[in-house]
């Protein structure tokens, strides 16, 4: 019997090492590839809706009172009926603000994380004027909302009595606090919104964006100062209305 031997054949070598699994950091970075573009859109489009609210609000509390406080009160009654509607306010005002801030904070945390992963340090992106002004603006806006909307609703049952007379009451009784708080929200808020819109419109020169936004902010502060001066000329409320205003400010430990 003959022995038959099969001819030798060349085969591909088996790799000595299996493909390396991605590191945990790489998995996390790739895993958010869909989430973060979505959050960028949320941050952008929520600023559109909130700007619509700001336009209505500024028309009644900044622009109209320059003509006359009475016109300001009339305008405020009209605009408040729009953005304080039960079906509108949770979306246009609170929803837009929370979506914008929430998306921004998550995106900023993600950016810091990527800087740490790829460069092993935190870069200087946090010093962006838009970001810094946003951080400064957050507690100011919360305080403004509590003072003018949330506290009156909680204490009085609604905020229908919160007109420019309420602002005048604050200017008469707590002038330093009222002037500084209102001009701060105008100055920082207009700067932040202006610089944000520069970005949305495709501006790229950081220095020019900052200077233009600062000029717009300073103009808004000057205009608001005239408005507050005119509001301060309203006669001081007395009687039952004054007691209601005092009740609100007393609960806030101001009066």
CATH of the domain at 82: 1.20.1300
Please tell me the predicted confidence (pLDDT) of residue 32. Answer: 54
Please tell me the predicted confidence (pLDDT) of residue 17. Answer: 55
Per-residue pLDDT at 15 exceeds 70: no
Per-residue pLDDT at 28 exceeds 50: no
Helical pair 164-173 and 69-83, crossing angle rounded to 10 deg: 120
71 belongs to a structural domain: yes
139 belongs to a structural domain: yes
The band of 36, judged by pLDDT with boundaries at 50, 70 and 90, is confident
Per-residue pLDDT at 26 exceeds 60: no
Ordered DSSP codes for 134-152? HHHHHHHHHHHHIIIIIHH
4 belongs to a structural domain: no
23 belongs to a structural domain: no
Please tell me the predicted confidence (pLDDT) of residue 124. Answer: 61
Please tell me the predicted confidence (pLDDT) of residue 23. Answer: 44
Please tell me the predicted confidence (pLDDT) of residue 12. Answer: 58
Percent of the chain with pLDDT over 70: 84
Q: What is the mean pLDDT of the chain?
A: 87
Residue ranges making up the domain that contains 242:
33-251
The band of 226, judged by pLDDT with boundaries at 50, 70 and 90, is very high
1 belongs to a structural domain: no
179-210 pLDDT, tens per residue?
999 999 999 999 999 999 999 999 889 899 99
Specify the number of domains making up the chain. 1
Please tell me the predicted confidence (pLDDT) of residue 204. Answer: 86
67 belongs to a structural domain: yes
Q: How far apart are CA 217 and CA 186, in angstroms?
A: 7
56's CB contacts (< 8 A; 6+ apart) are 79, 82, 83
151-184 pLDDT, tens per residue?
999 999 988 899 999 999 999 999 999 999 999 9
Q: How far apart are CA 213 and CA 194, in angstroms?
A: 5
Distances (CA, A) of 187 to 109, 191, 218, 221, 246: 26, 6, 7, 6, 28
12's CB contacts (< 8 A; 6+ apart) are none
Please tell me the predicted confidence (pLDDT) of residue 220. Answer: 97
Per-residue pLDDT at 123 exceeds 70: no
The band of 1, judged by pLDDT with boundaries at 50, 70 and 90, is low
Q: How far apart are CA 164 and CA 65, in angstroms?
A: 9
Please tell me the predicted confidence (pLDDT) of residue 113. Answer: 81
């Amino acid at each position: 019997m003959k022995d038959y031997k099969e001819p030798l054949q060349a085969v591909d070598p088996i790799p000595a090492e299996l493909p390396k699994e991605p590191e945990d950091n790489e998995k996390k970075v790739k895993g958010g590839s869909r989430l973060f573009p979505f959050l960028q859109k949320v941050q952008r489009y929520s600023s559109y809706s909130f700007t619509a609210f700001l336009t209505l609000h500024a028309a009644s509390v900044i622009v109209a009172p320059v003509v006359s406080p009475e016109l300001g009160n009339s305008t405020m009654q009209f605009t408040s009926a729009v953005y304080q509607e039960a079906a509108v306010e949770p979306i246009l005002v609170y929803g837009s603000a929370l979506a914008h801030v929430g998306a921004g904070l998550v995106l900023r945390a993600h950016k810091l994380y990527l800087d740490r992963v790829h460069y092993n340090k935190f870069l200087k992106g946090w010093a962006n004027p838009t970001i810094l002004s946003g951080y400064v603006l957050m507690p100011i806006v919360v305080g403004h909302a509590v003072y003018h909307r949330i506290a009156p609703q909680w204490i009085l049952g609604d905020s229908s009595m919160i007109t420019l007379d309420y602002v005048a009451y604050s200017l008469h009784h707590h002038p330093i606090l009222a002037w500084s708080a209102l001009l701060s929200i105008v100055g920082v808020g207009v700067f932040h919104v202006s610089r944000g819109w520069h970005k949305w419109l495709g501006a790229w020169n950081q220095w020019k964006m900052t200077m233009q936004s600062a000029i717009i902010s300073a103009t808004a502060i000057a205009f608001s100062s005239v408005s507050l001066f005119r509001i301060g000329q309203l006669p001081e409320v007395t009687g039952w209305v004054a007691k209601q205003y005092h009740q609100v400010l007393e609960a806030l430990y101001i009066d």
